[in-house]
Amino acid sequence: MAGLPWAITTGGEVALTAAATKTMLQSTAPANQRVQLNGFTVSFQGVSPTAEQIIVRIARQTTAGTMTAVTPVKDDDSLPETIQSTAQKNATVEPTTTDVLREFYVHPQGGYERVFGPKEIMIKGGGRLGLIVITPTGVNPDCVATMSCEE
């Protein structure tokens, strides 16, 4: 690891549909280079205090799906290295998900932040990792999300 921390965000609110699965963010490691997921945030703009909770997953994905490209941004813009990873946001066609690595419930009126310990989740060279939300029936809040990674 070269110690080049960076982040990707949804860049604004993403409208969610009730009873749906949506990959909010996906990070793809460069070929032959691992990337570490340092943490993520997700928050919702729900209106009902009695609404069912949303499932948030961190999972490996084997395809890109159909998403909008997003440029990873360095945490420290004075670092001269170039970020080699690529990223996407807001799937309109879901990528193929294989292994679910972490799963959390989050209330649609709130948010969740998770910071991982050293080397807890690694993305293998050329591998993909997605931040996925699954909304229950009758719940469709807007969402914003961030993934913090390091090359």
Evaluate if pTM is beyond 0.85. yes
What pLDDT, on the 0 to 100 scale, is given for residue 2? 58
Tell me which residue of 43, 35, 42, 41 sits closest to 6, measured CA to CA. 35
What pLDDT, on the 0 to 100 scale, is given for residue 120? 83
What pLDDT, on the 0 to 100 scale, is given for residue 16? 94
What pLDDT, on the 0 to 100 scale, is given for residue 133? 97
Please name the residues in contact with 82: beta carbons below 8 A apart, sequence gap of 6 or more.
Answer: none
